[in-house]
Amino acid sequence: MKTILNPQKKDWNKILERPTKKVGDIEATVNEIFTDIQANGDAGVAKYTEKFDGIALDSNLVSVAEIEEAISLVPKELKEAIQQAKENITKFHAAQKTEKVSVETTKGVQCWQEKRPIQKVGLYVPGGTAPLLSTVLMLSIPAKIAGCKEIVLCSPPNKEGKLPPAILYAANLCGVTKIIKVGGIQAIAAYTFGTETIPQVYKIFGPGNQFVTVAKQLATKYGVAIDMPAGPSELLIVADDSANASFVAADLLSQAEHGIDSQVVLVSTSKKLIDAVSIEIEKQLLELPRIEITQKAIHNSTSIFVENDAIALELINEYGPEHFIVCTKNNAFYIENIENAGSVFIGNYTPESAGDYASGTNHTLPTNGFTKAYSGVNLDSFMKSITFQEISKEGIQNIGKSIEIMAAAEGLQAHKNAVTLRLKELL
């Protein structure tokens, strides 16, 4: 990791730049694949599965037999771990349910809001070097709690044309209605347009690489909603001398191992801690099986020394991290004043890995600074709010004059007449 001491504010954006390609660099590829799949459906999907995943599939649909085989292959210990994670994720997301909101705004004017599930959702679960079975839980559990009717899951197949047993086991356990062996841009395009075997959905969920992120953004141009722009993983830790350097190093490495385009940042008011963490990173790195990937991500990452907590907080809010670990003598200051972060982890014994798997919070979070405007996935992500209103005779008499005056001011006579006719009828 590079170490930067007391950077000037004018240089923050450059120092904190993500190691990702610009949208323009990959948009042409995404557009080409979208156009092909829109025109050719499953044939187009199959072509890109063979090109990118190296496998020609007879069928991209996961069969009941494949699910049954997967259930038998998942070790008992892993099943128990998945079950505990499922219980915690279910508890946290079920607690997010809200009651109908109802209010009489004026005598005789009753307004209320109710939530309804999104009927058809498409979940994307990354594969590649790290098939994320945990993402299955994070997306399918709140979808099921919300009451979504169609919960479709796409994930890229391996060279044998299969999905990892744990992904199939988790999907089946959590109520996914259809599982499809397709990944990358082609999966997002299929969700957008629909094919002979892959249903068009109303909203797409899930993290992915830079190509998947751009594909999701392109999907919105065709009327399909997305959860958020969620690309390569990132973590920022703020720590001082009260932090355990080995824990800090372990957390930084845990995110760096996601992929070569992941980014981790350490912000500290202690040069001593920065040095200690650097030593720990080199030591722990040698013990990791994904050392090559992790080293490349660490190369894109930075340790930043600042003079005090106020400067640190301002810098962190400017960066807007996906994951934010707070481990300082003054945790309350950061907790109370953080404005831009996807998920916050507090203290020496709260590793970011807990949120990735089993504490109960959702790990599908905005990246690349989008925490300034987006929330992470939650129960409401799978629902819509619909407003209702019912106005009595007394109610329309109470607010009718105001409506007439405002409609006239806007030059919308038909709007005014819709009220005027009712008021005359009540005279």
Tokens of 85: 């994670």
Is residue 323 marked as binding?
Answer: yes
Catalytic site residue from 323, 336, 352, 425:
323
| pLDDT tens string 253-278 | 999 988 888 899 999 999 999 999 99
Rounded CA separation 56/46 (Å): 7
Could you tell me if 23 and 214 are in contact, meaning their C-beta atoms sit under 8 angstroms apart? yes
Q: Phi and psi dihedrals of 417, rounded to 5?
A: -65, -35
Rounded CA separation 43/63 (Å): 20
Q: State which amino acid sits at residue 309.
A: D
Is residue 93 marked as binding?
Answer: no
Rounded CA separation 25/18 (Å): 15
Pairing of strands 263-268, 203-205: unpaired
Rounded CA separation 239/71 (Å): 42
The pLDDT assigned to 129 comes to 66
The CATH classification number of 23-227 equals 3.40.50.1980
The CATH classification number of 392-425 equals 1.20.5.1300
The pLDDT assigned to 230 comes to 80
Helix (H) and strand (E) counts in the chain: 17, 14
Is 323 catalytic? The answer is yes
Catalytic site residue from 257, 280, 322, 352:
322
User: If you search the block for the tokens 């930084």, which residue do you land on?
Assistant: 252
CATH class of 2-20+232-360: alpha beta
The pLDDT assigned to 23 comes to 67
| pLDDT tens string 303-359 | 999 999 999 999 999 999 999 999 999 999 999 999 999 999 999 999 999 999 999
Is residue 255 marked as binding?
Answer: yes
**3-state secondary structure (DSSP) of residue 388:** strand
Domain ranges of the chain: 2-20+232-360, 23-227, 392-425
Please determine whether the domains at 2-20+232-360 and 23-227 fall in the same fold group of CATH.
yes
Q: How far is CA 113 from CA 98, 103, 228, 390, in A?
A: 10, 9, 24, 12
pTM for the structure as a whole: 0.94
The pLDDT assigned to 127 comes to 84
Is residue 410 marked as binding?
Answer: yes
Could you tell me if 235 and 265 are in contact, meaning their C-beta atoms sit under 8 angstroms apart? yes
Mark the ranges of the chain whose per-residue pLDDT is less than 50.
none
Is residue 209 marked as binding?
Answer: yes
The pLDDT assigned to 251 comes to 96
